[in-house]
Structure 1
């Protein structure tokens, strides 16, 4: 079906529309992964290998998908993940996504490197959002960002730990937004791609300004475009960070601490020992070290090791409400979605994210009912099986 006439329902539908609407370098930035994108593909394939077990003739007249994530009430076990440079995908996209998340009743996570500032997002409503942060070399900036977030009502910090160095993302290198390009205007694919997408140029390129990293504008006053901010952030990533630094963070952050980027039972234990309330089993959406295991394949071992000592979320490859069911059955309390909401906001703005989340909820309700349960606490591991062995090493 041509994308012009497509009525989007699934994440893949929104992806097709986003690919048509976005300049190529932006679509590839969202859509791509590290190296040869093996792990990117593996994330999806391993979810699809999990088979729900249909059960019939049970009373499923009162299905309820609600629960809590990081003490935040949620209508279903999903949160919008942080998406860097999200505001380049649609006009003030982080604000639009926050509106949609509020409407759907799920948490929204704002990236450190968002286009919209935390102050702009906080003005959307009095519903609290989550804030994502990296460990920067300048610890004073870290402390100041945390103070700003706390003052705006943020009570859940999502701390990303799998960016000691930035993964090699070949699509970004080919398009010119990585590999030492000095400025946004020097993008190799820029001029032709802009000309082919006049709608994006008007709505985002012109009406969506300013294109600063809103949370960091004070610290990079000379920057005029996202690439210059990316270069500053790249210099601020601290490869010397250890769990001791997380203990320092725990000492100054009074709210919930969620550690994102855990991909082994050993690191899960270390995160909890350092003070994490929650962890996110994640390979950064296949954007860091290519070839590693899918997030969902690691989840059962992490869940077994933690055994209820911390809340567990998973991301990477989640594309539907059925995937939420699968993740829940394998031990997750919930999941995060990044690319799905990025595709949706690029395709249809706030209405796209609202529609996507509504589809997730319907799919989860169907999965619960047709597997013979009515609430999340009844979703157990015996409700799924595996079609094949996961792509993991012995």
Structure 2
């Protein structure tokens, strides 16, 4: 798939390399990049690499089970495809393809408020419920309408993002004209020329993948002509005044599972439990918000020690392989979410490539379970880690 000698992709780096070839520069950088100098982005992956598994031998590994239970649902492995804004731009109707791949792998897919495909499109893929990610908008009436649509389309788990009071400064997006009031469609280099340099994407997504707006809010963005209009609208509608009181309001209007996405502090984790959230995602927004913030791998065990027995803990940020899933379980999470990996795989080769990537995650996880002497994922705890 794009590599010399037609080598098959075996890792995140392989899918990323192919995605970089296929995507317009502005879109690849939007997905791949982080805030500022990308210190937190690098920490996220580096700190998972620093977590050492404890190898154990002569333990019966003939019957291994990667499955876990989460919010009353059995997952084939402890993995969720995270919400990614504009993720559907990486392949034709990308979120629909991702949902099909997730269904086949037996794991949940979470649709972003600012995804390209609608709740209705994703809901029509199968009877397996998707998750939905919500950004709080200033117009609470719109929020309630979106939540009603989510419920009507089978969503029962809502991930509410709480770490976007202000938008992180993303240097790559500024350079490409995606930030600071300049949309990518308003600049020559990031527009027509970039599309011409990536004809496969321009044909499959640019021409055949329309509409390209944010499907779930399209009805509210009047006289929108292109994604730039949607970016401007969402920039004016995201509510920076949200506090814990608003979480109480959301808890009152949403009858399903409520998961708070963006917890990176022990005191905030305790507050999330107190406000009635069913779970939380230890997250720094993939290193896209506060550069210099702690990695999720470093904060997960602290938060797990504080509230792990009182809530359902999930984690994202830097999860790149099945071994990382085992490390996440060992540090106190019930499951992990991945964003860049699924979007890069989708860009590299659509649903087939994403299906391959998910198979590699599971295969890698089985190897880690077998060689730590803990063949059942439900039994993974701190004993799976090398002390010290």
Q: What TM-score, normalized to structure 2?
A: 0.97
SS of 2:220's equivalent in the other structure is coil
SS of 1:218's equivalent in the other structure is helix
Is 2:373 the counterpart of 1:385? no
SS of 2:102's equivalent in the other structure is helix
SS of 2:80's equivalent in the other structure is strand
In structure 2, the CA distance between the partners of 1:378 and 1:178, relative to structure 1 (3 Å rule), is: same
RMSD (CA atoms): 1.3
In structure 2, the CA distance between the partners of 1:308 and 1:187, relative to structure 1 (3 Å rule), is: farther
Deviation, 1:188, is 4.0
**Residues in 2 aligned to 1:73 and 1:298: alpha-carbon distance in whole angstroms:** 26
**Residues in 2 aligned to 1:379 and 1:138: alpha-carbon distance in whole angstroms:** 43
**Residues in 2 aligned to 1:87 and 1:307: alpha-carbon distance in whole angstroms:** 34
> Contact (CA 8 Å) 1:72, 1:107: kept in 2 or not?
no
**Residues in 2 aligned to 1:23 and 1:386: alpha-carbon distance in whole angstroms:** 45
Give the 5 Å matches for 1:129-144: 129-144=130-145
**Residues in 1 aligned to 2:34 and 2:41: alpha-carbon distance in whole angstroms:** 6
SS of 1:299's equivalent in the other structure is helix
SS of 2:219's equivalent in the other structure is coil
- The equivalent residue for 1:392 is none
- The equivalent residue for 1:153 is 154
- The equivalent residue for 2:354 is 353
- The equivalent residue for 2:317 is 316
- The equivalent residue for 1:390 is none
> Contact (CA 8 Å) 2:85, 2:113: kept in 1 or not?
yes
Deviation, 1:191, is 2.7
Deviation, 1:2, is 6.3
**Residues in 2 aligned to 1:193 and 1:125: alpha-carbon distance in whole angstroms:** 35
Is 2:210 the counterpart of 1:209? yes
In structure 2, the CA distance between the partners of 1:386 and 1:317, relative to structure 1 (3 Å rule), is: farther
> Contact (CA 8 Å) 1:70, 1:278: kept in 2 or not?
no
In structure 2, the CA distance between the partners of 1:299 and 1:187, relative to structure 1 (3 Å rule), is: farther
> Contact (CA 8 Å) 2:35, 2:168: kept in 1 or not?
yes
**Residues in 2 aligned to 1:181 and 1:175: alpha-carbon distance in whole angstroms:** 9
Give the 5 Å matches for 1:44-123: 44-123=45-124
SS of 1:131's equivalent in the other structure is strand
Is 2:288 the counterpart of 1:277? no
**Residues in 2 aligned to 1:82 and 1:2: alpha-carbon distance in whole angstroms:** 27
> Contact (CA 8 Å) 1:114, 1:213: kept in 2 or not?
yes
SS of 2:107's equivalent in the other structure is coil
**Residues in 2 aligned to 1:222 and 1:385: alpha-carbon distance in whole angstroms:** 58
Deviation, 1:187, is 5.6
**Residues in 2 aligned to 1:183 and 1:321: alpha-carbon distance in whole angstroms:** 35
**Residues in 2 aligned to 1:55 and 1:281: alpha-carbon distance in whole angstroms:** 29
Deviation, 1:386, is 6.9
Q: Deviations over 1:66-91 (max 9, x none)?
A: 11223222100010000100111110
> Contact (CA 8 Å) 2:374, 2:384: kept in 1 or not?
no
Give the 5 Å matches for 1:238-277: 238-277=239-278
SS of 2:57's equivalent in the other structure is coil
Deviation, 1:182, is 5.1
Deviation, 1:222, is 1.2
> Contact (CA 8 Å) 2:264, 2:283: kept in 1 or not?
yes
**Residues in 2 aligned to 1:53 and 1:171: alpha-carbon distance in whole angstroms:** 39
Q: What TM-score, normalized to structure 1?
A: 0.96
**Residues in 2 aligned to 1:71 and 1:165: alpha-carbon distance in whole angstroms:** 34
- The equivalent residue for 1:9 is 10
**Residues in 1 aligned to 2:157 and 2:142: alpha-carbon distance in whole angstroms:** 18
SS of 2:163's equivalent in the other structure is coil
- The equivalent residue for 1:193 is 194
Structure 1 residue runs without a partner (length 5+): 388-394
Structure 2 residue runs without a partner (length 5+): none
> Contact (CA 8 Å) 1:176, 1:187: kept in 2 or not?
no
User: Could you tell which deviates more after superposition, 98-107 or 299-308?
Assistant: 299-308
